[in-house]
Structure 1
Amino acid sequence: MGIRFRKSINLGLGFRINMSKTGPGFSWGGKGFRLTRTASGNIRGTAYLPGTGLSYQKEFKNPLAKESRQGSRKEKNEHRQMEAYENEKSYALDFKNIKSTGLSEIIEAARDERPYKLLGLILVVAGIFLFFINPSLIGLSAIGLILYFYKKEGPEVDIDYDFNENSKEEFALTNKLLAGILESDEVFLIEAIAEDGNRLVISKRSPLKITKNLPGKFKTNVEVTSLWSGNFSLSFLPDALLLAETNSYKAISYEDMEVDLRAEEFVEFGHVAKDANLIEKTYLHATKDGQPDRRYKDNPEISLVEYGILEMKNSDFDILLGFSDTIIDGK
């Protein structure tokens, strides 16, 4: 024999909460009609003629519950992608551990100075000792901390280049190549690449802003292309790659790094740039004839896209720049 439990709480203004073993339900209505949200989440509409016993009832799926299920499927799909990204390779820069191999005097000249660092340290230590003699002297430590962390900005630095004919032509060709790459609809810094089966996915990227200005206090007599991602930038000088993060600078001579320009195929789960080479549209799990594999409930449509990659690396870093248009034709 089954045991039923039901309790109704009237909240006024036509609202009522119905309690049962399966959970709470909510209803609202007046004379002749009532809308009920059942414990299962559906909406039940009831219309009736008072005093006649005639009524009509219809149950609908709750659209909010549907959105919830869609959200659940999305979460499962994101979870599946997170599991697939366990083989992720990071290309994040450890800026502090990058060693400069070029423009050493220029980098040193632009560095912010801390002229009172030693004096500040002495006052901090003295204030701590004197505190036990006279507590009011702890103020020396506060003054010492201010002096210790005080920074004096370095001067503006001009980098002047004097080209011969060959070097001038070579630099012009480099800038032309860069212009061809950066005319793409999308240019981005690749921070991580993962494997999804036997295919590659750019799992983390940052869009790049393109300017013709050097970062910070640097100026030069040639046109230089700089790429910005937040407070990080890289600038293509004639003889070195200038890296900047906030007010810190590193310069890497081109002779001290490997440069590779290539095209690679990646999976995109969403938007694809208009100028990208779309190889095909398929499914995450596809049959041999390209149809979706019905064994998988979460099986989104994906795009196989060819992106250009400009890789610059040495023992301290590995920078990957991605761009959508692999036809470098200057158009």
Structure 2
Amino acid sequence: MKDVTGAAVHELVPTGRGDIVEQLNDAAGHRSILWLIAPFLFVAGLVLAPWGWALSGAAVAALVFLLLRDQVTSRVVVFYDVDGADERWFESLIDTTKIAAGSQRIWRVLESGQVVTTRQHKTNAGAANLINRIVAAVSFDAPRHLATNITVPTITAGSTSLHFLPDRILVKDGRHYADVAYGDLFSGATTTRFIEAAGAAPRDAQKVDRTWQYVNVKGGPDRRYSNNPERSVMLYGQLEMSSQSGLYWKVQTSATYVAAQLNAALRAAPRH
């Protein structure tokens, strides 16, 4: 199967305005020395008792100072003042993302490959393509290194996440950040069929057909297998997001309308 996750985040060229990405990467790269110093001061206080009480007081003050310093250096403050058409669009994006959060299942596709041989087709429930996907989640939390005054619609899959801001999509993978301006984003929504095991299909998805784990050349059950469970063919929504800088996300939603509504919201984004 072929990797379909696009370029790594550290390889993406930021296309948003300003130096927010640079600041976020600096903040994410900050390493606190607080937890290295605290045990040393505690042990020193015990060894030097009873003078250790004075040392402990100084240690507490030092630790508070270091804690406040870490909070400042490990976070970037971004204040948004959005009004007019931009405000109405961003509010609609938040509302659409809330609908997406109600979808029973969301996935990100990581790998995809075409079934080549007849044997592969017959032993994979008649599928024409195979994919590897992971469960994704929708939330409304800014990444830990960003402090802001707005709600941040977010899609997270594994260690990677997309954070939708009023002027850009912030892309995060671990401690690495990049961004994509909405003017550089390409998106599209379709529907796709996916074969699920019996009982594994989300309740809000539409069943459009059935198949079996092992099929014959005509698509019916292969009678040579006594253990040949029936599979459900489900119809899911599929949202693709990409950019010339290398971003590529393929997201499947159990409710087909969710992908379509997210795509409509993204395509309506201000392009200035």
The answer to whether TM tops 0.5 is yes
Q: Alpha-carbon deviation of 1:248?
A: 1.3
- Secondary structure of the structure 1 residue equivalent to 2:156: strand
Does 1:260 find its partner at 2:188? yes
Paired position in structure 2 for 1:304:
233
Partner amino acid, structure 1, of 2:132: K
Structure 1: stretches of 5+ with no match in the other structure: 1-87, 116-151
| Partner of residue 325, structure 1 | 255
| CA-based RMSD | 2.9
The residue that corresponds to 1:57 in the other structure is none
Match of 1:221 in 2: 149
Q: Which runs of 5+ in 2 are unaligned?
A: 31-69, 116-120, 262-272
CA distance, structure 1, for counterparts of residue 138 and residue 204 of structure 2: 18
| Distance of 1:264 and 1:112 partners within structure 2 | 40
Indicate how the Cα distance of structure 1 residues 105 and 91 shifts in structure 2: closer, same or farther if over 3 A, else same: same
> For residues 249-269 of structure 1, what are the alpha-carbon distances to aligned partners after superposition, in whole Å with 9 as ceiling and x for unaligned?
101111112011221112224
* Distance change in 2, residues 1:311/1:209 (3 Å): same
| AA aligned opposite 2:25 | R
Larger Rg: 1
Q: Secondary structure at the match of 2:26?
A: coil
Whole-angstrom CA distance in 2 between matches of 1:240 and 1:101: 9
Shift of 1:311: 0.9
Q: Which residue of structure 2 aligns with residue 166 of structure 1?
A: 85
Over 3 Å counting, the alpha-carbon distance change for 1:89 and 1:168 in structure 2 is: same
Structure-2 residue corresponding to 1:273: 202
Q: How does 1:196-207 map to 2 (within 5 A)?
A: 196=115, 197=121, 199-201=127-129, 203-207=131-135
Structure 2 matches for 1:24-39, cutoff 5 A?
none
Higher strand share: 1
Could you tell me which amino acid in structure 1 is paired with residue 104 of structure 2?
D
Give a deviation string over 1:203-236, Cα, whole Å, max 9, x none. Answer: 3111123322111320222211122233322111
Sort the Cα spacing of 1:286 and 1:280 in 2 relative to 1 into closer, same or farther, 3 A: farther
Q: Report if the CA contact (8 A) 2:197-2:231 is conserved.
A: yes
Shift of 1:104: 4.1
Aligned AA for 1:224? V
In structure 1, the residue matched to 2:64 is none
Partner of 1:187 in structure 2?
106
Q: Is the 8 A contact 1:182 1:323 kept in 2?
A: no
Query: 1:287 and 1:231, CA in 2 relative to 1: closer, same or farther beyond 3 A?
Result: closer
Q: Identify which of 149, 163, 167 aligns with 1:239.
A: 167
* Amino acid corresponding to residue 277 of structure 1 in structure 2: Q
1:57-112 alpha-carbon deviations (Å, 9 max, x no partner): xxxxxxxxxxxxxxxxxxxxxxxxxxxxxxx3321342222111114411112232
- The aligned residue for residue 92 of structure 1 is 5
AA aligned opposite 2:184: D
Alignment partner of 1:251 is 2:179: yes
Asked whether the equivalents of residues 190 and 320 of structure 1 are also in contact (C-alpha less than 8 Å), the reply is yes
CA-CA distance at 1:179 after TM superposition: 2.2
Instruction: After superposing the two structures, state which structure 1 stretch, 249-258 or 209-218, moved more.
Output: 209-218
Normalised to the residue count of structure 1, the TM-score between the two structures is 0.55
Residues in 2 aligned to 1:103 and 1:199: alpha-carbon distance in whole angstroms: 44
Corresponding residue number in structure 1 for 2:76 = 157
CA contact (8 A) 2:215 2:221 kept: yes
Between the aligned partners of 2:159 and 2:104, the Cα distance in structure 1 is: 22
Q: How far apart in 2 are the matches of 1:234 and 1:172?
A: 17
Give the Cα–Cα distance (whole angstroms) in 1 for the partners of residues 4 and 197 of structure 2.
21
Work out the CA distance in 2 between the residues paired with 1:201 and 1:154: 47
Shift of 1:319: 0.6
- Between the two structures, name the one with larger relative contact order (CA 8 Å, sep ≥ 6): 2
Matched, 1:108 2:36: no
